[in-house]
Structure 1
Amino acid sequence: MKRSILLLTAVFVLTLFGTAMAASYTGPAIKAKLASEEIEGDFMTVWARNFSDHMKKWSGGKIEIEVYPYGTLGTTGDINELAQMGVVQFVFSDHAWISSFVPQAQALALNYIFPTEKVPEVLDHMAKNGEFMPLLEKAFRQNDLVPLSIMFEGWQWMTSKKPIKSLDDIQGLKLRLMSSKLLVEGYQAYGAAPTPMSYGEVYSGLQMGLIDAQVNPLFAIYSMKFYEVQDYVTQLKSEPFIGIPTVNQEFFDGLTKEAQTEMRRFWIDAIVPAGNWITERNMSDMEKMKKAKPALKFYTLDDATIAKFKAQAETVYPKYPEIGGEGAQKVLDALLKDIENAKKALGVK
């Protein structure tokens, strides 16, 4: 499994490098910093390093991007602010944490708006053909940032100390979420008691009983060892975890057009290969958790229960335009339109 993941990554990087060599970078030498929201070996840091390697090779060694894994430059909130200020030139964050700076990005936090299959392909179609990304970029630029892509990191899973098989089971549950007003509204609609908390504090929060449960993709549950202090892992099929590689606007606009184009091209072309990579990685990490803790139970909600969760999630949709701020309704309309167009093009229900 690990070997096939590495092979998939290598094939993508070599293919991209081969096609990119037709470009000849004529700009100045550049040294930049990229802060990742995740630890070494996890999705964001792995693909940030792929990006760094690619840009160095493409530019003949003239563009050097140093990658800083989670914790080396601060917490998830800190690194987004550093990128906005230009202290670091790039940040790889997610749709929730970046929303403190770009509230419109919370459209991606609405539950049950994506299909349950081919999410990387849907995002790829959106990025290449849709109206959402240009509107999202406009919102980012109003906050001194530029989004380069939208990346699927797997579905969010809820871990807990008790089984979650119905809406009744989630009532009053002290649940750690990423910092996003819309996410909090969404899980409150299910009856939970959401508690935003820094990524690095989640394990101790679970261990000490400050929170009962938390939400993250499988690779994070494994690498951050949350499963050690939880007994159940539940899939609501409600929320794909979406990463947004982002660059400081002033820095990006100061690059040559060829460098800007290559950076965008790398991240857009990476959506599907990276989605395949993380899907395989998540399955591998699930097996590792089962082996490390045989008593750990994995559960996916049935269709009837999902329908009840979805009905509650839809009560939150009207709140997004106010929470999302200026231009939010246009962003949401474009997102929903892009998803529907992608589903039709891909034959997805």
Structure 2
Amino acid sequence: MTIKTLTTASLTALILGSGTAMADTWRYAFEEALDEVQGVYAQKFKEEVEANSDHEVQLFPFGTLGESDNIMEQAQSGILQFVNQSPGFTGALIPEAQVFFVPYLLPEDQDQLVSFFRNSETITSIFPELYAEQGLELLKMYPEGEVMLTTKTPVESPADLSDVKVRVMTNPLLVESYRAFGATPTPLPWGETYGGLQTGIIDGQENPAFFIESTRMYEVTDHITRLGHNNFTTALMANQEFFEGLDEADQQVIQAAADAAFDHIIDYQQGLTETALEAIMEAKPAMTVTTLTEEQRAPFRETAGDVEATFLEIGGPRAQEVLDQMKADLEAAAAS
């Protein structure tokens, strides 16, 4: 019997055990390995909580409790106290969160990007209300790195993506984005991606460089293309009933830990992309890494308007408010 086939009741028993020995242990699941960005963030969060309270934080990396949809269900039901998950997967619950998949919306400039995530009214005011409607306390959103496309054939224009099956998260707007790019978007659980590339079920996938390197996606693809279209965003959430049941001191410990982990992960990411690309090229010298010129990006960039229009159609009742405020936040970040 695997974790993925456990019932909610048996999973609860497995994690909690019996008696009250685990009463002060908080459980935190995320979508990556311990040595990847979400894992590094989680370890810093754990360190801060345990240094400033009597509580222990138990970490569950990707796969230990199932796929992304499994850990979200466990967080909503209270089996987990914390979950770190990308809006790519929460889009079905919170359609407004799909705004992060409008291409060429987030800046490439790292200082502007960090300023946006630190100060965004969208993140600090609007999204907490939307997440709360799903029983989740939004603690922090943070960037993980420039998204790059890995394929078996070179990509320099939308025409090069014709009939190319690109694995995407199960997110309607990301599907629309790659369709607009000319590709055939193929939603697929992450655990099936490597095998899918081996067998030809898919022809490519997108992720930050560190994740391409750590998961060895370069072994089953031959080309990395930097379209400049996005930066991978993720979010730390708590079960809202759990969080609201804590005293003010514990809530402050949690928020301070989330803030400290944010600062830590921003510092950690300095040079991470370049280091990962160097490691990929050392492991597979035949791999190509192509940064498209502004002229080559232009036809991809032109699709953003159509994807934005789709977001306003499917992005939930507050889509227009979210998009308008996010653009204002990005303008403020650019001016800072």
TM-score strictly above 0.5? yes
SS at match of 1:233: strand
Cα distance between partner residues in 1 of 2:123 and 2:281: 39
Give 2:172's aligned amino acid: K
Q: Which moved more, 1:124-133 or 1:317-326?
A: 124-133
Q: Equivalent residues in 2 for 1:139-288 (5 A)?
A: 139-288=130-279
> How many percent of aligned residue pairs carry the same amino acid?
33
| Corresponding residue for residue 118 of structure 1 | 110
Among 26, 32, 35, the alignment partner of 1:32 is: 26
Q: Tell me, which stretches of 5 or more residues in structure 1 are unaligned?
A: 1-28
Give 1:40 deviation, angstroms. Answer: 2.5
Q: Tell me, which stretches of 5 or more residues in structure 2 are unaligned?
A: 1-22
| Corresponding residue for residue 108 of structure 1 | 100
Cα gap change, 1:341 to 1:188, in 2 (>3 Å): same
Among 48, 57, 67, the alignment partner of 2:59 is: 67
1:248-272 Cα distance to aligned partner (Å, 9 max, x none): 1111111122322332233234434
Q: 1:154, 1:279 within 8 Å by CA — same for their partners in 2?
A: no
Query: Size of the alignment, in residue pairs?
Result: 315
Give 1:72's aligned amino acid: T
Cα distance between partner residues in 1 of 2:70 and 2:115: 29
SS at match of 1:245: strand
| Corresponding residue for residue 9 of structure 1 | none
Q: 1:126, 1:338 within 8 Å by CA — same for their partners in 2?
A: no
Among 81, 86, 91, the alignment partner of 2:78 is: 86
1:128-152 Cα distance to aligned partner (Å, 9 max, x none): 3624431101000000012111111
Q: 2:31, 2:84 within 8 Å by CA — same for their partners in 1?
A: yes
Give 1:239 deviation, angstroms. Answer: 0.8
Q: 2:123, 2:141 within 8 Å by CA — same for their partners in 1?
A: no
Q: Which moved more, 1:185-194 or 1:130-139?
A: 130-139
1:176-231 Cα distance to aligned partner (Å, 9 max, x none): 01111011011111111101111111100000000001011111111111100110
SS at match of 1:271: helix
Q: Structure 2 length normalisation: TM-score?
A: 0.89
Cα gap change, 1:245 to 1:82, in 2 (>3 Å): same
SS at match of 1:158: strand
1:291-317 Cα distance to aligned partner (Å, 9 max, x none): 110000001111012121111122110
Give 1:78's aligned amino acid: N
2:39 is aligned with 1:45: yes
2:309 is aligned with 1:315: no
Give 1:280 deviation, angstroms. Answer: 2.3
| Corresponding residue for residue 301 of structure 1 | 292
Cα distance between partner residues in 1 of 2:184 and 2:143: 27
Q: Structure 1 length normalisation: TM-score?
A: 0.86
SS at match of 1:238: coil
Q: Which moved more, 1:220-229 or 1:128-137?
A: 128-137
Q: 2:44, 2:264 within 8 Å by CA — same for their partners in 1?
A: no
